[in-house]
Amino acid sequence: MSDAQFVKVRYKLTEKVAQAGGMTAGMAGERAGRELKAQREEAQRSLGTMLGALEVMNRERTAQPTAVYDAATQMVDIAGLFDMKMFCDAAYSLSELTDRLRNHGRQDWPSIGVHINALRLIWTKDEDASEEVKAMVDGLWALTDRALEKPPAA
């Protein structure tokens, strides 16, 4: 194995960011927040469509865990850009559940179904961070944590 080399790099970004002009970080954050607000409705619709696809998978129960995983992570990706913490947390739990299941060659539709129902509820409430919703998301995580303790379905 050859020795590691250390290279000093100066990014062009460093010079450009420090140039005169621009705006304060506070103003940039506010402007970006306004841009995001204009797109939130569209994102909410898109999440609804993704949830619909997951509901179909749950009804038919023929999809592979990877398909559910991909759909769940896509929801994390979209909801995560809007800082939708509860929805994101629930979708993250579903991603974690299906990741564990696929790594062990297992499937657990009842647990997946509970997640999908919870996601639909949070989606309907449009990011209601009440204690009830938090408790529900904690429950999803408890389900995910215990997912591999159950014996595989015959």
Partner 1 sequence: MALDPRIRINLERSAILVVDDNPSALEVQASMLRGFGVRRQLKCGSAAEAQHYVASQELDLIIIDAAMPDMDGYDFVRWLRREAPEDKRYTPVLILTGHAARGMVEKSRDCGANFVITRPFTPEVLLQRIFWVAKDERQVVVADSYVGPDRRFQNIGAPLGQKGRRKDDLSTHVGAATDPNMDQMDIDMLLKPQRASL
**DSSP string for 30-92:** HHHHHHHHHHHHHHHHHHHHHHHHHHHHHHH--S-HHHHHHHHHHHHHHHHHTT-HHHHHHHH
Q: Binding residues for partner 1, per CB under 8 A?
A: 1-9, 11-14, 16-26, 28-36, 38-39, 42-43, 46, 69, 72-74, 76-85, 88, 92, 95-96, 99-100, 103
Shortest Å, Cβ 146 to partner 1: 17
Nearest approach in angstroms of CB 108 to partner 1 is 17
Distance of alpha carbon 93 from alpha carbon 105, whole angstroms: 18
Least distance (Å) between residue 84 CB and partner 1: 6
Shorter beta-carbon distance to partner 1: residue 103 or 130: 103
Q: How far is the CB of 154 from partner 1 (least distance, A)?
A: 26
Residue from 39, 49, 134, 28 nearest 82 by CA: 39
Quick one: 16 or 135, whose CB is closer to partner 1? 16
Nearer to partner 1, 46 or 117 (CB): 46
Instruction: Compute the radius of gyration of the chain from its Cα atoms.
Output: 21
- Length of the chain (residues): 154
Smaller CB separation from partner 1, 12 or 149: 12
